[in-house]
Structures are given as structure tokens and as C-alpha cells.
């Protein structure tokens, strides 16, 4: 296992829209563009969750309840379905 030489946290999410009453106080963030299809995913997070991810807290600690595919999109931008299409479904073994 090698460690990244530069922190990735600051480039994970981009704030698209500030929280507002219309979004129940959630902020809209955009993840990185998917390296396979080129489309970036947008997602709603609480401002605290977004802040913690942007400041480098591990995504699985910020969003322990989130689906692993959601966490993967936040971390890498890569859609699980794109990954499967490219490399086949992950082997559970």
C-alpha cells in the first residue's frame, strides 16, 4: 500500500449550492467527474458533513450509514455501474 503524496480531500467535493430552506438546510455538492464516463455526481449533504469531508475526515466516518457506492462516488467520483461495465462486477470472494 502506498500513500498519496498530496491530500486528496480538498478536491473531493465542490460546493454547488449553499444550504437553503428549499433543500431542508442541505447543501448541494458535486463530486469529481467519473473517470470512466466523465459525468460528475451531485449530492446533498448537511453543511457539517460537507465541511468534514472537505477538511479530510474519512468519508466512512462522516457518512457511516451511506451506501458504499455513495462513499465511492464521493472519494473517487467513479460510478459503481461504470466500474462494473468496464471491469465486470466485483468478485465478493
Q: Interface residues with Zn ion (CB under 5 A)?
A: 34, 36-37, 79, 82
Q: Are 89 and 44 in contact (CB under 8 A)?
A: no
Cα–Cα distances in angstroms (integers) from residue 6 to residues 3, 11, 56, in the given order: 9, 11, 12
Nearer residue to Zn ion within complex by CB, 46 or 76: 76
Question: Least Å distance between CB 38 and Zn ion?
Answer: 7
Question: Least Å distance between CB 88 and Zn ion?
Answer: 15
The CA distance from 62 to 68, in Å, is 13
Nearer residue to Zn ion within complex by CB, 43 or 52: 43
Question: Least Å distance between CB 62 and Zn ion?
Answer: 22
Nearer residue to Zn ion within complex by CB, 19 or 80: 80
The CA distance from 67 to 5, in Å, is 28
Amino acid at each position: 500500500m502506498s500513500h498519496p503524496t498530496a491530500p486528496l480531500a480538498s478536491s473531493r467535493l465542490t460546493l454547488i449550492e449553499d444550504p437553503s430552506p428549499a433543500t431542508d438546510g442541505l447543501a448541494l455538492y458535486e463530486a469529481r467527474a467519473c473517470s470512466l464516463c466523465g459525468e460528475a455526481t451531485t449530492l446533498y449533504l448537511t453543511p457539517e458533513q460537507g465541511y468534514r469531508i472537505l477538511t479530510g475526515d474519512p468519508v466512512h466516518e462522516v457518512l457511516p450509514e451511506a451506501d458504499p457506492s455513495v462513499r465511492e462516488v464521493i472519494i473517487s467520483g467513479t460510478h459503481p455501474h461504470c466500474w462494473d461495465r468496464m471491469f465486470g462486477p466485483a468478485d465478493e470472494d
